[in-house]
Structure 1
Amino acid sequence: MKTKKYSKKSSDRLSGYLFISPFFILFGVFGVFPLLFTSFLSFHKWDILGTKEFIGLQNYKLLFTDPLFWKALGNTFSIWVLSTIPQLIAALIIAFLLNQAFLKAKDIFRLGIFMPNITSIVAVAIVFSAMFGTKYGLVNYALSFLGIDPINWSGSYFGTHVVISTMVMWRWVGYNAIIYLSGLQGISNDLYEAATIDGASKFQQLLHITIPLLRPVIIFTVLQSTIGGMQIFTEPLLFGKGGSNQGLTITLYLYEEAFTRFSFGYAAAIAWMLFFIIIIFSLLNIFLTRKIRSA
């Protein structure tokens, strides 16, 4: 009896492992292996055709002295600041408005605000390139009514960053707004009713009720937007990095090193440096979060 009971437990345990094994197999093939192989490759010089040449830390030493890498890093931070901070603020305001009782046809508005996230990024890039065209763009046409000369958006540092940041904002503000909206719907209406009776305005309710209770959701979106902002690739690739590389981001630089100059070892070093930067930002966010909670 004990043997049968033991064999049944072993069989149940084995069945459980078999059921969850597809996830771990796929994770190992597409997650762990590329990570380990990229780490191994970052210590080599390889153009994908010849043999790998072990060069130690030379790729990382070159990285710290490469002015183009530091320019790409600065561009990435600049675009991240211009896109992420206004995006999260706008998403929170939109979610607050969508959660109001007086708003009719809420489902249509929710669908409309989420549509940019599922729109083809190629189509988005084409539309925004036309809008921010130097000679015939709609934005410069609107600015002409204000007496402002046409801006060469693709030829200036600030203009390129504004266009790319606008594309990122337009695409992701609805996604974050839906996440905030789901968090808002978990807040009791009794709090808002009591605040209304006490004479609190909508802005005061947003500041003193909504934001404190949405803190875990806000932390999640900040962390997620930080990770995504450090990996901006499609928007600068389609819009163009500009003649002075003012639109060059770290991931775009990594792509060029790997698939244009075929320097896969150096590209792997860039990928790992980006990984460490994201880890540092994530730890900084966690540290600030704990400080805010303790306060």
Structure 2
Amino acid sequence: MSRIAATFAHLKTEGRAGLIPFVEAFDPDRATSAALLAGMAARGADIIEIGMPFTDPMADGPTIQAAGRRALRAGATLAGVLDLVREFRAVNGTVPLVLMGYLNPILSYGVERFAADAAKAGVDGLIVVDLPTEEADLMLPGLRANGLDLIRLVAPTTSDERLPVVLKESSGFVYYVSITGVTGTRTASAEDLTRDIPRIRAATDLPIAVGFGVRTPEQAAIVARHADAAVVASALIDRMASGLDESGHAPHAVIEAVLDDVSALAGAMRGEKRAA
């Protein structure tokens, strides 16, 4: 059983939804993102999503775009992201890691080589935001050969007819983009989730994680009543970015503030028991 499948099986036995916080690799530098990865795992993260910085992040809102620019200035590369994963795996073999990014850098790296190197480093799954469903065969053989999940995105605009097509080759979990637009701009309501999550469940047996608009413990708790996990990204990056010093570095107190937010999110979600 993969780490992702094992994690969701464990969450099911506990009757709760999982927390998936986001770290942009190398934002604002490698050491900070390494500290955040280790700290999030210790503060209640069930899965961690790692952003692979890219120069044209079309689906990302201003917060993650700015994080990507800081990361690229700090020297982020795909090889560097995988090295960050290797460092984490040297001390933590349990918490699943999912890379989220765009197709162009992977094509430049070489799909087969990237899949093999990612698996060897300790990556569990991949979200490729701009990979069209009809072109998934660019990635699928390499990912499958190396035991990596391809996690697909669905949105409120994904029709009932389109859902089975998108989800046919999915594995790991489904990432539900709960809003239309870019990341971090607004959040889905309980009414939205009540309407949309059952529709997705009818099309797949995979767990469903809700992202693109979860910012507060209260919002995470709402997601926990309806879905299997909540992804929190922009709120954590905003917390860190607001405390960067004049040289653009993150003081220890700022890292701790981000991790305190992770603890609060995890606590809120653990307080929401899901119906069996």
TM-score in same-fold range (> 0.5): no
Answer 1 or 2: higher relative contact order, Cα 8 Å, separation at least 6.
Answer: 1
Q: In proportion to residue count, which structure has more helix?
A: 1
Task: Please say which structure displays the higher CA radius of gyration.
Answer: 1
Q: In proportion to residue count, which structure has more strand?
A: 2
Give the alignment's TM-score, normalised by structure 1: 0.24
